Amino acid sequence: MPTLSKQILTFLVIAVSLIATQAFYSDYAWSFQESPMLSQAVKNGNLPPLEKRLPPNPVVVKSFEKTGAYGGTWRRSYTGISDLNETRKIVYDPLVRWSPDFKVVPNLCQSWDVQNDGRVYVLKLVEGMKWSDGAPFTADDILFAANDTLLDRDIAPSPPGWLAPGGDEPKVTKIDDFTVRFEFKNPYGLFLENLACPNGMALVTRPRHYLAKFHKKYAKPEELDVICKAKKVSSWNKLFIELINIQQGLFVTCDLPSILAWTTKVPAPGKRFVMERNPYYWKVDEKGNQLPYIDRLATELLAEANMVLLKAVAGEIDMQANHLGGMSNSVLLLAQLGSGNYRLVPKISTASVGLLLAPNLNHQDPVMKRILGDKRFRIAVSHAIRRTEINEILYRGKGVPRQPAPLKESGYFKESYEKCHLEYDPALADKMLDEMGLKVGPDGWRLRPDGQRLLISLDVMASIQTWVDAAEIIASDLKKIKIDTAVKSETRELFRQRTQSCAHDIALWSGDGGLECLLEPRWYFPYSSESLQAPLYAQWYQSRGKQGEEPPADIKKMMETFDKIVHTVDNKQKRDLFDTILAINEENLYVIGLVYQPPDYYVVAPNMKNIPASDFQSWIYPNPGPIHPEQFFFDRSK
């Protein structure tokens, strides 16, 4: 797989040499400077001086190309609330963060100490940080976010798996104003990595001084009742859940204080969603200039996703990837590069495959459940698919056909799994379906055991045309083995509704977790609600048997094995245990891979600087967050 490996290794070489090493200001000797828009606010008496807003020892972000210039508005586009996930990835500042080469590095937490064989983590915060309203950010905020929201049963019916591995809640305590202790029942070898993931942002986006007045533990009952009546909600916890939702709280209101680089000024989902620089942001460049350089993020609401592409080609977007991806769009973007309106920056996927099939093991129809749950059916489907044609038509031959196995660079690669059942062999597929008893009826279509025609629907999101095109090819392939197949192209909202209620037959989604296998194991076993192959088994796993549906023995074994991985600190032991999970997948083919996709692109304005030559594409590594958007700037000199 030389092409795939070369893409990733090339980016890793770039990443190691790039930016974004963070240091502390004590290593430097320059004075502080700020944006002209903030210095004017200081002169007008609307803000304290910069020295009183910054920590005594602010975090320093080293510029990728050069120290930047202040000013400008970063123009973007979106089609609705669901697109705010892309904004979440720009304002990325968890306790610890991913570096551009996918390593955990300090951030709000300036250092940590791992004790008692991985059971205890002591985190030391940057001292003197402030929320966007000027209130101090301290250990009390972390304790509030952990104990009074994430681990509060009135707010979260069950603790999040990333914070409470195996369902065992940690003991979170304060050592002093800037030191927090997390104590786990068992060793937790993935804690720091999970803190760096998007879920870890929950610990730093819930300001105690603001939210306590909405929490029954701190607010007076009569005052809380008045607030609930005014907000027209039936209970305090419903209101609180809405306030702490990372999208609702950060982007559809201007009230929630933030420690992020930009804060909301004109809320979504308005025609123009605007975020503006946080005057209390706690990072500077190597010359002492307070970040961010760019004044505002302005995101325009558009009716159709294809309008985003048109605006990009016209040079009306400064940096964006959402609704611009896919090989069909890249042809147009590459053809128009000569206009000078933009440049393209590749995003190298960390997914195992660009697209996979997730047969629904929790189907509501017992007959369909038995069919989809038979590994012979899944293997037959895999042999019926023309991956070479999908690669040529959708990816211009630049992809790599494979199953959703770990990538070589992950350290968990298993070649036999990557290559199993890839051959296009419709005769073998026919034979396996015949052995299952799925006979061909008088009309030429296969029948279910109950005599009804076997009709398979492929659920796919309508907004990603390459996925719809792939589904059409697959439907055609399945019809050749006499399975009547229809493509169900849906909005994201309807797709999610159907898959979460287990109303789908086979769903199509990206194969996340090729590089970050242990942090995104959704396709290796039913791990989360995003495990579309078995959402109810995942629910059973996450609730420790209290909800969902009890899985069969092989799937239980994978769950038990992963629990051992979570509680293992030794990397070799992790690899050995994960190999057990991969072997079960190879035997059963619970999900069916198609093709590893070539790089996608960001569209970037010619004068937008401090952006590296390439980036990763992942949710776990919430690009472009790890390459520090706060140090992007507009070069006005040309």
Given a cut of 60, is residue 9 above it in pLDDT? no
List the single range of 12-26, 301-315, 391-405, 612-626 with lowest mean pLDDT.
12-26
Distance CA 92, CA 283 (A): 13
Which tokens belong to 351? 């997914």
- Asked if the structure places residue 253 within a domain, the reply is no
CATH of the domain at 382: 3.10.105.10
The pLDDT of 144-148, averaged and rounded, is 97
Dihedral Cα 267, 616, 351, 334, nearest 10 deg: 90
CB 299 within 8 A of CB 77: yes
Claim to verify: residue 36 and residue 82 sit in the same structural domain: yes
> What is the per-residue burial (b if ≥16 Cβ within 10 Å, else e) of 170-204?
bebeeeeebbbbbebebbbbbbbbbbbbbbbbbbb
The pLDDT of 105-121, averaged and rounded, is 96
- Asked if the structure places residue 562 within a domain, the reply is yes
Distance CA 593, CA 284 (A): 44
- Asked if the structure places residue 513 within a domain, the reply is yes
- Model pLDDT, residue 5: 56
List the single range of 3-7, 60-64, 279-283 with lowest mean pLDDT.
3-7
Claim to verify: residue 382 and residue 506 sit in the same structural domain: yes
Given a cut of 90, is residue 105 above it in pLDDT? yes
The pLDDT of 518-537, averaged and rounded, is 96
Claim to verify: residue 100 and residue 52 sit in the same structural domain: no
- Asked if the structure places residue 166 within a domain, the reply is yes
Given a cut of 90, is residue 14 above it in pLDDT? no
- Model pLDDT, residue 16: 47
CATH of the domain at 148: 3.90.76.10
Given a cut of 60, is residue 151 above it in pLDDT? yes
The pLDDT of 456-478, averaged and rounded, is 94
Given a cut of 70, is residue 19 above it in pLDDT? no
Distance CA 383, CA 53 (A): 62
- Model pLDDT, residue 246: 63
Run of H or E including 2: helix 2-17
Distance of CA 517 to the CA centre of its chain: 13
Peptide bond into 257 cis (omega under 30): no
Given a cut of 80, is residue 451 above it in pLDDT? yes
Residue 305 banded pLDDT, cuts 50, 70, 90: confident
Query: What is the span of the domain harbouring residue 213?
Result: 94-220
Claim to verify: residue 473 and residue 585 sit in the same structural domain: yes
Per-residue pLDDT tens digits for 583-605: 999 999 999 999 998 888 899 99
Sign of CA dihedral 172, 173, 175, 178: positive
Angle at 220 between CA 218 and CA 223, to 5 degrees: 125
Given a cut of 80, is residue 582 above it in pLDDT? yes
Given a cut of 90, is residue 275 above it in pLDDT? yes
Per-residue pLDDT tens digits for 54-103: 999 999 999 999 999 999 999 999 988 878 889 999 999 999 999 998 89
Claim to verify: residue 345 and residue 278 sit in the same structural domain: yes
Claim to verify: residue 589 and residue 601 sit in the same structural domain: no
Residue 29 banded pLDDT, cuts 50, 70, 90: low
Closest CA to 73 of 294, 308, 319, 290: 294
- Model pLDDT, residue 6: 58
Claim to verify: residue 137 and residue 5 sit in the same structural domain: no
- Model pLDDT, residue 73: 98
Claim to verify: residue 584 and residue 619 sit in the same structural domain: no
Claim to verify: residue 52 and residue 75 sit in the same structural domain: yes
Claim to verify: residue 513 and residue 414 sit in the same structural domain: yes
The pLDDT of 227-231, averaged and rounded, is 90
Distance CA 563, CA 189 (A): 11
The pLDDT of 618-638, averaged and rounded, is 92
- Asked if the structure places residue 35 within a domain, the reply is yes
Residues near 240 by beta carbon (within 8 Å), at least 6 away in sequence: 149, 155, 211, 214, 215
Given a cut of 80, is residue 280 above it in pLDDT? yes
| Mean residue pLDDT across the chain | 92
The pLDDT of 385-400, averaged and rounded, is 92
Distance CA 543, CA 43 (A): 55
Which tokens belong to 242? 């809405």
Given a cut of 50, is residue 454 above it in pLDDT? yes
Closest CA to 361 of 350, 352, 344, 374: 374
Given a cut of 50, is residue 2 above it in pLDDT? no
DSSP string of 203-263, one letter each residue = GGS--HHHHGGGSTTTS-HHHHHHHHHHHT-SSHHHHHHHHH-HHHHHHS-S-S---SSEE
The pLDDT of 524-538, averaged and rounded, is 96
Per-residue pLDDT tens digits for 241-262: 888 886 667 898 899 999 999 9
CB 72 within 8 A of CB 282: no
- Model pLDDT, residue 21: 59
What pTM value is reported for the model?
0.86
- Asked if the structure places residue 255 within a domain, the reply is no
Given a cut of 70, is residue 8 above it in pLDDT? no
Given a cut of 80, is residue 524 above it in pLDDT? yes
Residue 276 banded pLDDT, cuts 50, 70, 90: very high
The pLDDT of 351-362, averaged and rounded, is 96
- Model pLDDT, residue 28: 59
Q: Comparing 265 with 463, which gets the higher pLDDT?
A: 265
Residue 17 banded pLDDT, cuts 50, 70, 90: very low
The pLDDT of 369-396, averaged and rounded, is 95
Claim to verify: residue 83 and residue 138 sit in the same structural domain: no
CB 135 within 8 A of CB 147: no
CATH of the domain at 611: 3.40.190.10
Q: Read off φ and ψ for residue 412, nearest 5 degrees.
A: -125, 20
- Model pLDDT, residue 619: 86
Helix (H, G, I), strand (E, B) or coil at 27: helix
Given a cut of 50, is residue 166 above it in pLDDT? yes
Distance CA 146, CA 160 (A): 10
Claim to verify: residue 410 and residue 555 sit in the same structural domain: yes
The pLDDT of 121-141, averaged and rounded, is 98
Total domain count, the chain:
3
Given a cut of 50, is residue 501 above it in pLDDT? yes
- Asked if the structure places residue 587 within a domain, the reply is yes
Pairing of strands 343-349, 283-284: unpaired
Give the E-state strand segments of 426-582 in sequence order. 455-461, 484-490, 506-509
Angle between helix 375-384 and helix 571-588 axes, rounded to 10 deg: 80
Kindly state the percentage of the chain with pLDDT values over 70.
94
- Asked if the structure places residue 250 within a domain, the reply is no
The pLDDT of 131-140, averaged and rounded, is 98
Given a cut of 80, is residue 25 above it in pLDDT? no
